[in-house]
């Protein structure tokens, strides 16, 4: 059996989020400044870039202020969940396909 999560590349998921979120370059979610410096990557998700805004000195990352922020599920699981929602699968079917607890699938689809 193929584990569907292994078909999705974490780096490409983060690249896609960056491209869709900031088509004209990274901007601070607090002050919208484009005066940004990269500040390394997340220890648990090395594809997740951290930033520092030179204008307001706020730190943020690729997922700050998105529906993906603050959750324990990897970004690739969120992408697959959104895909399955587009196929009109039930929360139970999504939970089963992604090997999630039904309450996690419910929370993700409600976001």
Per-residue pLDDT, 1: 47
d(CA 101, CA 25) in angstroms, rounded, equals: 36
% of residues, the chain, pLDDT over 90: 74
CB atoms within 10 A of CB 19: 9
Per-residue pLDDT, 28: 98
Task: Name the residue among 52, 66, 73 with its Cα closest to residue 18.
Answer: 66
For residue 18, what are its two tokens?
A: 């960056």
% of residues, the chain, pLDDT over 70: 94
Give alpha helix (H) positions in the chain. Answer: 10-21, 75-86, 91-98, 102-110
Position 3 pLDDT exceeds 80: no
Structure confidence by residue, pLDDT tens digits, 49-101: 999 999 999 999 999 999 888 888 889 999 999 999 999 999 999 999 999 99
Per-residue pLDDT, 63: 94
Quote the crossing angle between the two packed helices 102-110 and 91-98, to the nearest 10°. 120
Average pLDDT, rounded, for the chain? 91
For residue 50, what are its two tokens?
A: 């951290």
Per-residue pLDDT, 111: 86
Domain-wise residue ranges, the chain: 4-110
Question: What is the three-class DSSP state of 59?
Answer: strand
């Amino acid at each position: 059996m193929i584990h569907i999560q292994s078909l999705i590349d974490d780096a490409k998921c983060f690249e896609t989020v960056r491209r869709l979120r900031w088509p004209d370059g990274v901007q601070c979610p607090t002050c919208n400044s484009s005066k940004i410096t990269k500040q390394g990557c997340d220890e648990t998700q090395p594809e997740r870039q951290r930033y520092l805004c030179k204008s307001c000195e706020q730190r943020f990352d690729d997922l700050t202020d998105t529906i993906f922020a603050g959750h324990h599920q990897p970004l690739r699981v969120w992408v697959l969940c959104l895909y399955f929602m587009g196929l009109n699968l039930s929360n139970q079917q999504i939970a089963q396909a992604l090997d999630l607890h039904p309450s996690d699938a419910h929370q993700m689809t409600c976001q």
